[in-house]
Amino acid sequence: MSLQTFLQHLVNGISLGSLYALLAIGYTMVYGILRLINFAHGDIFMLATYIAFYSVTTFLLPWWAAFLIAIILTALLGIILERAAYRPLRSSPRISIMISAIGASFLIENLAIVIFGGRPKAFPIAPIFSKILVVGDVSISIVTVIIPIVTAIALFILNYIVNKTKTGMAMRAVSKDYDAAKLMGININYIISFTFGAGSALAAIGGILWGLKYPQLIPLMGIMPGLKCFIAAVIGGIGNIKGAVLGGFILGLGEIAIVASSPALSGYRDAFAFVLLIVILLFKPTGLMGKNSAEKV
Amino acid sequence: MLKINDLHVHYGGIHALNGITLEVPENKIVTLIGANGAGKSSTLKSIMGLAKTSHGTIQFNGEEITGKPTTHMVSQGLILVPEGRRIFSNLTVEENLFLGSYLRKDKAEINKDLNWVYELFPRLKERLWQMAGTLSGGEQQMLAVGRALMSKPKLLMMDEPSLGLAPLIVKDIFNIIKEIHRKGMTILLIEQNAKAALEAADYGYVLETGIITLEGPGKELLVNDQVQRAYLGDHK
């Protein structure tokens, strides 16, 4: 493989890894606070792309306004999802809330088929996103470069919120101990809503970028990325934000590496995530950056 | 300051509190002693709104607070140092202290209280950047008390602050409690260490299986036969 193709693949891998990281963080944040796998997270991601799609095609908004609206509405949808499907079950056994998550996922997918139609739609791409960048012998689409940059900015903001703000401190406190957090005067419901909002906003950013890179929308498009990013979160150590980012990049780079090594293997790119999951769980059951913690009862 | 009237609490089928009535007057240390499972922690939890009150009323500074959310209790200055310390081990010592002042907006006062906490617990000041989980048991208890003080309590409630600590540290903790009290703090103290608690307290209640069986000034309870036999070990 020439250096040129290697660089090309590397850029693609980083770009895909960024998308996975954005989505994986939502899983890990919700798990950190509620000990719940939010199975509807991939569908939230799908909704974001459709909101962006309709904002541009039906409401004729400029791309930046459409993206902003998609991020805000998706964050709201994430908050509504928690209110409707998870909050009423918070004191029930964990299995009930998990089943509710699976139910919410199916509901959103099928509602999307009814409302948006099952036929694929083409994501509208503004001209500035379809340019091709030529650096030396490597030519890459501008979206491939934008994705990691936007991801880096989003991660920087998230890191700031979680580690430097009062709300972030409260989030970390709630993830450790509900009752002790209440004794500080922290409003648990607000923190949980905030977590869902932030996770969903990141999924929306991921969804929009995904649409720009793979511009075909179908109502079930959230399932595979959702599943893979859940795996990414587990690989990194679920509950750990940095771990989710690491897991996302491992998955993205690994997938591209498989495709690059032999075109014959490219059909197995989805299998890669699952094989990696099995291997990691065999040797490091808590994930790469996960800590062994006693089950919270 | 705090008035509890005929409080009942049920956990599932268990009748944890069977109608207790007690009062904490301003600027006093009141203690509630009793064996394991007598309902001491349940009392504090229901005051804080962490356990559901099935019957009875809780009044704080004349306001009826029964059934209000915990956030409300904290905003009114009703602060609990929970049993087992419950510090946030994944946060630094400094962040734990800041969380104590989560609901407060008075920046200047917060800084004053922070300095007071550093004065009371110089050890915490040396360990500000350390993860709270790496502190020793005694230091964690100090952090839990410091964190509570950062909430600007009007009534400070402590649930077994001496539990699991070495005798020397227990002495430290009780000295701190007296020191805080000297500054005018009202304290409701729950203890298994009946001797130390009654010595420090102005007034005491003895709780047995959900009911108050005895009450009186701390000094009187210390020499009471029944208390001596049950909680202090009879040395006569």
**Residue A173 CA to chain centroid, in angstroms?**
23
* Domain count within chain A: 1
Q: Which two tokens stand for residue A45?
A: 């991601």
Q: What pLDDT does A292 receive?
A: 63
Residue A169 lies in a domain: yes
Of B36 and A45, more confident: A45
Q: Can you give the residue range of the structural domain that contains A272? A: 3-283
Distance CA A205, CA A45 (A): 8
CA dihedral B145, B150, B153, B157 (to 10 degrees): -20
Residue A290 lies in a domain: no
The three state secondary structure string of A48-73 is HHHHHHHHHHCCCCCHHHHHHHHHHH
**Residue A213 neighbours by CB under 8 Å, 6+ apart:** A15, A19, A141, A143, A144, A147
Residue A160 lies in a domain: yes
CATH number reported for the structural domain that contains residue A82 in this entry = 1.10.3470
For chain B, state the CA radius of gyration. Answer: 17
Residue A292 lies in a domain: no
Most distant pair of Cα atoms in chain B: their distance: 55
Q: Which two tokens stand for residue A72?
A: 């805000």
Distance CA A252, CA A16 (A): 5
Residue A289 lies in a domain: no
Of B48, B89, B102, the CB nearest to A176: B89
Residue A262 CB coordination number (10 Å): 9
| B236, pLDDT greater than 70 | no
Could you tell me if A271 lies within 8 Å of chain B, comparing CB atoms? no
Q: What pLDDT does B78 receive?
A: 95
Q: What pLDDT does A193 receive?
A: 97
Chain B residues near any Cβ of chain A (below 8 Å): 48, 50, 70-71, 74-75, 79-80, 82, 86-91, 95, 98-100, 102-103, 147, 151
Q: Which two tokens stand for residue A146?
A: 């934008």
Sketch out chain B's domains with CATH numbers.
Answer: 1-67+159-236 (3.40.50.300), 78-152 (no CATH)
- Which residues of A are less than 8 Å from B86 in CB distance? 177, 179-180, 183
CA dihedral A121, A122, A125, A127 (to 10 degrees): -140
Is the Cβ pair A185, B70 closer than 8 Å? yes
DSSP 8-state assignment for residue A123? P
Mean pLDDT by 10 residues, chain A (297 residues): 86 95 96 93 97 95 95 98 95 92 97 95 90 84 93 96 95 94 96 97 96 94 95 93 95 93 85 91 88 53
Residue A288 lies in a domain: no
The nearest alpha carbon in chain B to A185 belongs to B71
For B146-194, the pLDDT digits (tens) are: 999 999 999 999 999 998 898 889 999 999 999 999 999 999 999 888 8
Residue A14 lies in a domain: yes
The nearest alpha carbon in chain B to A179 belongs to B50
Residue A245 CB coordination number (10 Å): 26
**What backbone torsions phi and psi does residue B166 show, to the nearest 5 degrees?**
-65, 150
